[in-house]
Amino acid sequence: MNQARAEIPYECCGLIASNQGNIQYFPCKNLSTEPKESFALGGYDRVEDENDEILALVHSHPGHSIEFSPLDISACEESGVPWIVVDPISESWGYLDPFLTLHKIEVT
């Protein structure tokens, strides 16, 4: 969430990975040419090399809703890992698993 706040108004992205049982968040680069509307995950090779398992992909929707876009949903299905979206302005987040179960959780 701090990374998402720092990068307003741009979308940010990162990965949650497990390394020998330690779960860590890795901020990645947004390589999209339109970073206000979309993201392209960059700089994740290092995460893949050094970690056992990618647990989830995180990206932000600064100032718009935490609904996943149709593009997000299809990319999530392709990635095969759960996705988390955060909105640093409303401080809410949502979770999407690749089997299309959408849960919304309000953070107070």
The amino acid occupying position 1 is M
Among 15, 28, 72, 87, contact with Zn ion (rule: CB under 5 A):
72
CB of 72 to Zn ion, least distance (A): 4
| Paired tokens of 40 | 């392209």
Between 51 and 62, name the residue whose CB sits nearer to Zn ion: 62
Say whether the peptide bond before residue 9 is cis (omega within 30 degrees of 0): yes
| Paired tokens of 38 | 């979309």
CB of 61 to Zn ion, least distance (A): 5
Residues with Cβ within 8 Å of 49's Cβ and at least 6 positions away in sequence, in order, are: none
Site string for Zn ion, 50-69 (x = CB under 5 A): -------------------x
Name the residues that contact Zn ion, by CB under 5 A. 69, 72
